[in-house]
């Protein structure tokens, strides 16, 4: 059961659909079946893309940690007064 990407020719909506038995899905926005199947690009994984993703995740986690710490300090200040 593959997942395909489609573009609706009637309203221009782009969406993904799980296709069973080669049936044509309907657009979730306008319910039209005048669709164009789009080419899906594969995801490429390499050591450099993994390293970049790890750096981004660490940066995001550090920012979330600072925000949690700030929220905790504000909470404690408001309840100690």
List beta partners, residue 18: 3
Per-residue pLDDT at 62: 94
- Domain count of the fold of the chain: 2
* Residue span of the structural domain in which 32 resides: 3-38
Nearest to 37 by CA among 58, 67, 16: 16
List beta partners, residue 16: 5
pLDDT at 25 over 80: yes
Per-residue pLDDT at 81: 67
Q: In terms of domains, do 12 and 30 share one?
A: yes
Q: In terms of domains, do 65 and 79 share one?
A: yes
- Give mean pLDDT, residues 14-30: 90
pLDDT at 52 over 80: yes
Per-residue pLDDT at 71: 94
């Amino acid at each position: 059961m593959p997942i395909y990407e489609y573009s609706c020719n009637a309203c221009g909506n782009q969406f993904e659909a799980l296709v069973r038995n080669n049936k044509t899905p309907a657009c979730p926005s306008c319910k039209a079946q005048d669709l164009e199947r789009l080419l899906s690009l594969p995801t490429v994984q390499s050591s450099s893309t993994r390293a970049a993703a790890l750096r981004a995740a660490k940066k995001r986690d550090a920012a979330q940690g600072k925000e949690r710490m700030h929220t905790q300090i504000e909470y404690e200040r408001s309840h100690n007064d």
